[in-house]
Amino acid sequence: MGRPKELSDAEREDLLRQGFVPVEVWVPDWNNPDFRARMQDEARRIAEADARDPGIDEWVVQVRGDVWDGDGA
């Protein structure tokens, strides 16, 4: 994917003038073995919890109400 094109000083100043601000976003590194191990462990624990409580699906439906139903309004 590579790095995005760096802005020139003029482009940066133009964006700042328009009311934009620069931000930095940190995302998980899925190639990091420690991160992958943590995610696999969490997924395993979630699956085990679901297996221990077969009624969890009904509970989720009751708790969520109609939040995902209808037009979303």
Higher pLDDT: 44 or 72? It is 44
Identify the pLDDT of residue 6. Answer: 85
Residue 32 falls inside a structural domain:
yes
CA 21 to each of CA 3, 27, 32, 47, 53: distance values in angstroms, whole numbers, following the listed order: 19, 19, 30, 41, 47
CB distance 3 to 9 below 8 Å: no
Whether residue 2 is predicted with pLDDT greater than 70 in this model: the reply is: no
Residue 38 falls inside a structural domain:
yes
Residue 71 falls inside a structural domain:
no
Residue 35 falls inside a structural domain:
yes
Residue with tokens 């139903």: 69
Identify the pLDDT of residue 39. Answer: 97
Number of domains in the chain: 1
What's the predicted TM-score (pTM) here? 0.49
Residue 56 falls inside a structural domain:
yes
By residue count, the chain amounts to 73
Higher pLDDT: 52 or 5? It is 52
- Write the secondary structure of 25-49 as one string of H (helix), E (strand) and C (coil): CCCCCCCCHHHHHHHHHHHHHHHHH
The range of the structural domain enclosing residue 61 comes to 27-66
Residue 51 falls inside a structural domain:
yes
What average pLDDT does the segment 46-50 reach? 88
Residue 33 falls inside a structural domain:
yes
Residue 40 falls inside a structural domain:
yes
Express each pLDDT in 8-46 by its tens digit.
999 999 999 999 999 989 999 999 999 999 999 999 999
